[in-house]
Structure 1
Amino acid sequence: MTQLAGRPAPPSEFDLFSDAYLRDPASAFVRARKEAPVFWNEALGTWVVTRRADIDAVLMDWETWSCEANGGRLPVPDEYADVVPPELMAEIMIGMDPPKHTAARKVAQRGFLKPVIEALAPEIEARAHRILDGFAHLGAAELMETYCLELTTQTLMALLGLSAEDEPMMRQLRDDHFRVLASGREPMPEPERSEVWARYVAAQLRLRQLAQERRDGDGGDIISLMAMAKNREGNDALSVERIAMHLTEFAAAGTDTTAQAMANAILFLSDAPEQRAEAQADPTLWARVFEETVRRRPSAPFASRVATHDAEIAGVTIPEGDIVWLALASANTDSAAVVDPMRFDIHRDGLDDHDHYAFTKGRHTCLGAPLGRTQGAIGLRVAYERLPGLRAVPDQKQDFLPLAMLPIRRSLQVTWTPSDAKAPESKEH
């Protein structure tokens, strides 16, 4: 990494591993946007970009700002390099540039088209009710694992056409993939490194097996759609190795990010009871609740890129080969573009137009955004219909997997009044 004399430094209190950052990532950038909109973070060895206009420019210029940083620099242990070679890690969906990214996305997005997601909506709602049936009478629960992640995992299993025997693997894979992604900047100590990679490689082999088995099938699940896809020459569009890697990305992004957003929405609504009451009275507002939640606190606070040549951002020269982290949480709360940006407001202008960066922007806009939006809104609506007084326990201890790029909430303690809990409506679920 190039060392530059006099490179801009962050504000003295800036710390991506602090409790304050984990509690509210957006708050960490308020001072930086004013004093050092582009700065060097010594702890991570990356540049950090904080202003919305600058982030927008980087996201829209893939030729200058490559996605190679997301996969091409991940350290693969020598003992697994023959199974998961570094060049395969470089071909994760968020680690490719056109034209390779364009071809892979075209195949994968078939499983996330609007008709597919709309057809799945009744099943998402039915699963949400079934999950809540198990504990609605209790009056208190840890909701992250028991509901948010449970719902998103069950939905993913349905989308992939996987059976119960593969569910433990997929649940673990979501955490392991995020940890592997973070390892390029936040190395794993032993024995964690060996444990994570052993599970990760075993999951890759299982997913490759499933993709191969579905090559000649006729299923409508995402694995089958990717496995059966052909290129113009009539050959398989994607190798089983790449299919498995993309499925790994779906296991992480398709479960954890939406679950994180649902948990964050509950936290925001616990501090905004009047807006919670409005959404409970008007179910059409739940989509706006979800949208405002991911604007105010995106599940992934950063996107990363690498400079393909010396380039300038806000008067700062970024040398070729250096990595930049784009602070999406900062872009979403930049007062130069957003009115009263730190306020949680479900009536905010622009929400219907998705005027924020929670799912990034441009060629790498999140493939699963339609699923996340549908599932998040349904999951929240059903939870508050069944548990009208649902609220987060005040001042609970923070419980995160403390990764700067992807701080993952592991638990959320909530309460409600058992006598107010409602049975589902008469329609079958």
Structure 2
Amino acid sequence: MTTPISERPTAPPEFNPTGTAALRDPASMYMQARTDNPVFWSPDLHTWIVTRRDDVDAVLMDWESFSCLGNGGSIPVPEGFAEVVPSSLMSKIMISMDPPEHTEARRVAQRGFLKPAIDALVPEIEARAHRIIDGFAASGAVDLMEEYCLELTTQTLMALLGLGDEDEQLMRTLRDDHFAILASGREPMEEPRRTQVWDRYARAQLRLRALVEERREGSGNDIITTMATARNRAGGPALSAERIAMHLTEFSAAGTDTTAQAIANAILFLSASPEQLAQAQADSSLWPRVIEETVRRRPSAPFASRQATRDVKISGVSVAKGDMLWLALASANTDPSHVKEPGEWNIHRENPEDHYAFTKGRHACLGQPLGRAQGAAALRVLFSRLPSLRAVPDAPQDFLPLAMLPIRRNLAVEWNSGDAQAQGPGQAS
């Protein structure tokens, strides 16, 4: 039975996912809630918020009781674009499918993200990082978010997809458009932005579908060819061009922005912890730990969402069949019942990968090998070239304030301009 909204546990006053405090530190919203109201209702988002690690774990691991089907079906597609991007297609994004359909799509996509393939890509990521740094090393200050974090992740994505310069702007724009469209089910877009976003999005889908068809008989090792040439048991294409294009769209967003966010957040943490920065600079094996602790303390995507398929109770709270739940990953990662000194940023934790930044279970992030490898490589090269680099203290932080996926827009940094001459451009790490 559905609990009347007036009787549902209410959100604490500090719960404001698009407020300044939450954008800077999502975990700050849950310290009291985990004790007082571990599962509460957000009337603004029309969803339950789940805060405790044990509850988050239970939901993520029970796909039969907590479905992903509601994640794409609630996205409103404007009438003028429904022919190209019908609602039925939006419901086929990776985060909105359950087994067995999700299993087949993931099987096809995962071949492009296997760890050996990603590890082999690291020298290319490092070489691109050096070339990007060459362009601004002598300046002494830069907005690192645009000039390095997003630039590097975008270039890496272009290499993974086997795309040339002619598609670069399309992929850069598609990243933000996809996040905006995902959020529109809960945070509607206003005109004229709504039409502008959907127009670009539809044209991008058509371009990606054409690329898929061009590579159906290809022999390349890029992700588009890998997915386009995959065959089902009957010998036909495993996935349609429309489905592959939609999955490529997901990769363009998750594979660029979330990793760029992690790199930027790591620089903020390192700037506030000079002792741990010095340790990582002295021992390059610590850079993967820097990334792990960063995404534990401040996951790039602060929520994962599910829909209850039956009436259930979570921490004593009645959740009705059909209700949406947002799992607060930032809260689960800082739950003091599982993490010592959860608010501290410590790269020497005993189990550095024990967090939910990449979620868990059947929907664990496909691209996590890439995110981990690229994040560590980006930091390793950056601080080898510009060892004195630090975030500018008290610089304004600009975000695209989406509750589900807040996007950092800037990161002001500065360094001693002599670093560039001391290190030498293009030096191998």
In the superposition, the TM-score normalised over structure 1's length comes to 0.98
SS in 2 for 1:255: helix
Partner of 1:357: 356
Match of 2:328 in 1: 327
Contact 2:179 2:405 in 1 (8 A): yes
Please say if residues 129 and 424 of structure 1, whose CA atoms lie closer than 8 Å, have aligned partners that are also in contact. Answer: no
Q: Which amino acid aligns with 1:307?
A: A
* Residues 1:242 and 2:233 aligned together: no
Hey, what's the Cα distance between the residues in 1 that align with 2:5 and 2:314?
Answer: 15
Matches of 2:82 and 2:426 in 1, distance apart?
Answer: 54
Structure 1 residue 4, shift from structure 2 partner: 3.1
The one-letter amino acid of 2:238's match is A
> Which region of structure 1 is more displaced relative to structure 2, 136-145 or 2-11?
2-11
Residue equivalent to 1:18: 19
For 2:137 and 2:246, the matched residues in 1 are separated by: 37
Partner amino acid, structure 1, of 2:415: W
The letter of the residue matching 1:390 is L
Match of 1:411 in 2: 410
**SS of structure 2 residue aligned to 1:305:** strand
Write the letter of the residue equivalent to 1:392.
A
Equivalent pair of 2:3/2:318 in contact (CA under 8 Å): no
Q: Distance in 2 between matches of 1:419 and 1:428?
A: 18
Alpha-carbon RMSD: 1.3
- Read off the aligned partner of 1:420 and give its amino acid letter: D
5+ residue gaps, structure 1, are none
Shift of residue 423 of structure 1?
Answer: 3.1
Q: CA deviation at 1:5?
A: 3.4
Could you tell me which amino acid in structure 2 is paired with residue 201 of structure 1? A
Matches within 5 A, 1:248-397: 248-351=249-352, 354-397=353-396
Aligned to 1:99: 100
Q: Equivalents in 1 of 2:149, 2:160: separation in Å?
A: 17
Aligned residues: 427
Q: Quote the Cα distance in structure 1 between the aligned partners of 2:383 and 2:146.
A: 17
Using the TM superposition, give the Cα deviation of residue 2 of structure 1 relative to its aligned residue in structure 2, in angstroms.
7.3
Whichever residue aligns with residue 367 of structure 1, its letter is L
Give distance in 1, aligned partners of 2:411 and 2:34: 31
Change (3 A) 1:428 1:417: closer
* Deviations, residues 173-208 of structure 1 (Å, cap 9, x unaligned): 000000000001000011110010000000000000
Give the 4+ runs in structure 1 shifted more than 2 A: 1-5, 420-429
- Quick check: 2:127–2:426 contact (8 Å CA) kept in 1? no
Letter in 2 for 1:158: A
8 Å contact kept, 1:254–1:368: yes
Q: CA deviation at 1:10?
A: 1.5
Kept in 2, the 8 Å contact 1:11–1:35? The answer is: no
Contact persistence 1:204–1:245 (CA under 8 A):
yes
Q: Which amino acid aligns with 1:93?
A: M
Distance 1:234 1:30, change over 3 A: same
User: Which amino acid counterpart does residue 322 of structure 1 have in structure 2?
Assistant: D
Equivalence for 1:68: 69
| TM, length-normalised to structure 2 | 0.98
- Counterparts of 1:195 and 1:2, CA distance in 2: 39
2-structure distance, mates of 1:69, 1:11: 25
Which residue in 2 is equivalent to 1:55?
56
SS of residue paired to 2:6: coil
Matching of residues 117-132 of structure 1 within 5 Å: 117-132=118-133
Following superposition, the deviation at residue 426 of structure 1 comes to: 7.3
Work out whether residues 71 and 90 of structure 1, in 8 Å CA contact, stay in contact via their aligned partners in 2. yes
